[in-house]
Structure 1
Amino acid sequence: MTEKKKIIEAKNISVQFRVRNRYLTAIRDVSVDLYDGEVLAIVGESGSGKSVFTKTFTGMLEENGHISEGTILYNGQDLAQIKSNDEWAKIRGGEIATIFQDPMTSLNPILTIGKQIVEVIEKHQKIKGEKAKQIAIDLMKKVGIPEAEKRFSDYPFEYSGGMRQRIVIAIALACKPKILICDEPTTALDVTIQAQILDLIRTLQEEYQFTTIFITHDLGVVANIADKVAVMYAGEIVEYGSVEDLFFDPKHPYTWSLLSSLPQLGQKGEELFSIPGTPPSLFKKIKGDAFAPRNPFAMKVDYEVAPPKFQVTSSHWAKTWLLDERAPKIEKPEIIQNLHEKMQIVVKKQHQEEL
């Protein structure tokens, strides 16, 4: 089996925002490698730092934000050192493209759908005129727009939410990116359309062989699309592994909590599990394990010393003192034991209901 090439190497990345003369540390010492052709899912609650982290790959941090530490190596270049918009223009779109969660804000309401795709083709593929228009129509067909020739001259408001998201995907593909960042691309859509968009992204990824970073708070989505998973909490990756590692053998109590929150595991008449408490303030320096105040299994050491990275297997690690040999042996919550079997039952039941 051929070893995959490392396409991005992010090392010890920290990101700070200046807010009313104070500094908020949104990303804390994050390191992750991205390999050619794989799908990396970054999961966590809102505010955990998922989008902020990936914005460092495209220079899209807000004006009051900056990378305070670390390196992001891509094609021999350190993206963390790029300062000018001209330099970012060479990376953004053509090398690394992003699909955002709200397609309406990603599209220009006063330009036709066709013109918006053609503009991108002209810029990134250097093709103009009828040839650019035909490529645009072909892309519209590729992402599942019916009667693409007729819909080419429509405006965004004439499309449904799911169709607008398909157009955003077509625009990203028109850039011919090597890396596609999908920032919660299904959040604003209903469940049926979500499934269609996920299937579309997976099919296109296999066809075009781009590398994908998929940002989501929904671990159910992760099971369907990812190869590797990075679990983020309070601006830090707390667990990393293959999708099988995370579903069959999760180690961090935060990952346990996210899995326990899966709506698919809910029982009729019972309350869904929710994680108690709130994330810590990122204005303050965090002492110990950031998840400790919300962790029912927290030990004294969790409040005092930040846990190191414990290697579970060659592909799986987690930052939790529960993996220390001196820690008490704690079983993961009952609701996520035999998770694979439970999810299979849910999927089977859904198929029966659809029939």
Structure 2
Amino acid sequence: MTKDVVLSAKNISIEFKVRDRTLKAIRDISVDLHDGETLALVGESGSGKSVFTKVFTGMLESNGQISEGQAIYNGQDLTQIKNNKDWEKIRGGQISTVFQDPMTSLNPIKTIGSQISEVIIKHRGESKEEARKIAIDLMDRVGIPDAEKRYDEYPFQYSGGMRQRIVIAIALASKPKILICDEPTTALDVTIQAQIIDLLKELKEEYGFSMIFITHDLGVVASIADKVAVMYSGEIIEYGTVEDIFYDSCHPYTWALLSSLPQLATSKDLYSIKGTPPSLYNEIKGDAFAPRNPQPMAIDFEQAPPKFDVSDTHWAKTWLLDPRAPKLDKPKTIQNLHEKMKNIYKKETI
């Protein structure tokens, strides 16, 4: 059964004015987030993942503008909200964000508890006393030991992992319908990363929110996402379920990302994608990934590929899906990936 769409981006394009030049950061993105689903946005740094999600919270920088498209939430086009007062009804209340660096998300001169309580009072209208109780319960829920005592401590008294748990508690304090997680585990060590991912999955199940998870780490995607949108140079170039992307991917860039998984590295070296993404100041002709593609076709440099449907849940923008294209094998690294991933997870659990 298809779940209801809770957030819909339709043909979103974003431009920035930088020193009298125009940078096209996002190019014609359309994607839906369904009720209770986790949508992962993946791609290299600079691919536009974070910029795109700022559309949903009105947090674009002052030199940026949505040049085209709509973002529909609860029947309202978010791109038409112009003032901060109206945004406050959505941002932090209906749609919350967990950022990458918890230290920059927390006020260093306010106690941990007061920062959670502040959100509860503002968005839920609770009294100061009730907000304190709810905040302590949330702290306990996200795994802060001795929460009642630590309510009155300051951010510097918490470890990095504990601070990130507090940022998650603040994001959930307003009971949002959508949680945007912007690389929430990047600054943490591997063990703490796994704990935060498990925590987010538990909280999503308990609170029933939908989630957009931004990351460049496909290993994280495998453990948390339902759907995956692969971004490159400001556009989505492949979209599908986790199984579609891992085991039936079609775009050469997706192949390259999967080949870069550290878990698949041989004793020799780790695969890396050669070259750099194109400048977004210039008009992109053809497939943006063509100059870095190890096996490009002539048409890749001449004409942008349309969206080819692979299945009801899966599409990609690559000329390889055109019936006239030659049939290319995936890189050896990701052939039989299903078996390789099963073996990896077996080793990790031994």
Matched residue SS, 1:272: coil
User: What TM-score do the two structures reach when normalised by structure 1?
Assistant: 0.98
Which amino acid in 2 is paired with 1:300? A
Which of 272, 275, 294 is 1:274 aligned to? Answer: 272
Separation in structure 2 between the aligned mates of residue 143 and residue 181 of structure 1, nearest angstrom = 17
**Pairwise mapping of residues 241-280 of structure 1 onto structure 2 (< 5 A)?**
241-268=240-267, 270-280=268-278
Aligned position for 1:310: 308
Matched residue SS, 2:10: strand
Aligned position for 1:348: 346
Separation in structure 2 between the aligned mates of residue 127 and residue 235 of structure 1, nearest angstrom = 41
Question: Which consecutive segments of 4 or more residues in structure 1 shift more than 6 A?
Answer: none
- Deviation per CA, 1:11-35, whole angstroms, max 9, x where unpaired? 1100000000101000000000111
Aligned position for 2:90: 91
- Deviation per CA, 1:103-124, whole angstroms, max 9, x where unpaired? 0000000000011001011001
Which of 276, 281, 287 is 1:289 aligned to? Answer: 287
The question of 1:160 aligning with 2:159 is answered yes
- Deviation per CA, 1:302-346, whole angstroms, max 9, x where unpaired? 000000000000110000000000000001111001112111211
Separation in structure 1 between the aligned mates of residue 89 and residue 49 of structure 2, nearest angstrom = 24
Aligned position for 1:188: 187
C-alpha displacement of 1:296: 1.1
Structure 2: unaligned runs, 5 residues or longer: none
The question of 1:73 aligning with 2:72 is answered yes
Separation in structure 1 between the aligned mates of residue 228 and residue 6 of structure 2, nearest angstrom = 16
Structure 1: unaligned runs, 5 residues or longer: none
Matched residue SS, 2:256: helix
Which amino acid in 1 is paired with 2:281? F
Aligned position for 1:234: 233
Matched residue SS, 1:56: helix
Aligned residues between the structures: 350
Which amino acid in 2 is paired with 1:9? S
CA RMSD of aligned residues (A): 0.7
Which amino acid in 2 is paired with 1:20? R
Taking every aligned residue pair, what percent have the same amino acid on both sides?
A: 72
3-12 or 236-245: bigger deviation:
3-12
Separation in structure 1 between the aligned mates of residue 272 and residue 198 of structure 2, nearest angstrom = 28
C-alpha displacement of 1:295: 0.4
C-alpha displacement of 1:139: 0.1
- Deviation per CA, 1:47-95, whole angstroms, max 9, x where unpaired? 0000000001000011100100001111111111111111111110111
C-alpha displacement of 1:150: 1.0
Which amino acid in 2 is paired with 1:97? S
3-12 or 287-296: bigger deviation:
3-12
Separation in structure 2 between the aligned mates of residue 30 and residue 10 of structure 1, nearest angstrom = 7
Matched residue SS, 1:327: coil
**Pairwise mapping of residues 1-355 of structure 1 onto structure 2 (< 5 A)?**
1=1, 3-268=2-267, 270-352=268-350
Which amino acid in 2 is paired with 1:317? W
Matched residue SS, 1:140: helix
User: What TM-score do the two structures reach when normalised by structure 2?
Assistant: 0.99
